[in-house]
A = this chain, B = another copy of it.
């Protein structure tokens, strides 16, 4: 393994995972940690990565101001939200799952949009109360405290009585082979239900969830109409998805 090969590997990994650890790389690339550190120093000197104690992170994009930094993790989610919000039209009935990406989306819905939104997430509902005209229907049930969403049979049965034009779904993991998957059993059921009552399913997915597979299946890939990510929709990574008929945004 040549030095440059390692460098490319490191850069690839850092783009994909948003971080690398010296210890991991040492094992993966089968060289000592010293060598990895030297690699990281090289790349850092070239301004390609940012070296930190224990590994390295990508260079921060944009102006490193106060607000920018504090929204760092939300940056990708905001990109996704901005793409997704264009799908919302007045008059639609929409279901939103309880992800932080959806929360970002809820924040930027233009005030001239007039639609009905069903959700089972307290933060999202609360955010939507700031919107002047959207009709919000909260889906009741037992509250799951950490995620601040309702869960359980009540939720499933409430959703199954609906019919929605659009469904915005945060993703635990998605790939062409296993489709959409979820780490949580209850949530996977709720999402199944959401999909079955929605005309179009829009999956919101940060790149780190792309090509991941979680424990429970939500839906095969062909049930997903549109996939919204924070990467360029023309990227070749999406070829498989396009073949299965998934629109990329």
Contact = CB atoms under 8 A, between A and B. Distances in A.
Interface of A: 2-5, 8-9, 11-12, 15-16, 19, 21, 46-48, 52-55, 57, 66, 69-74, 100, 103, 120, 122-123, 125-126, 128-129, 135-143, 145, 148, 150, 154, 158
A114 to B, nearest CB: 14
Given A8-B73, A69-B48, A140 B137 contact: yes
Given A46-B69, A138-B138, 16 more contacts: A2-B55, A9-B73, A12-B73, A15-B71, A15-B74, A16-B103, A47-B66, A48-B69, A66-B126, A120-B140, A122-B138, A135-B142, A137-B141, A138-B142, A140-B140, A140-B141
A15 to B, nearest CB: 7
Given A2-B53, A126-B66, A72 B11 contact: yes
11 contacts: A3-B52, A11-B72, A15-B71, A15-B74, A48-B70, A120-B140, A122-B126, A136-B143, A137-B140, A137-B142, A140-B140
A2 B140 contact: no
A97 to B, nearest CB: 15
Contact of A142 (B12, B15, B46, B136): B136
Contacts of A100: 12, 16
Contact of A143 (B3, B48, B125): B125
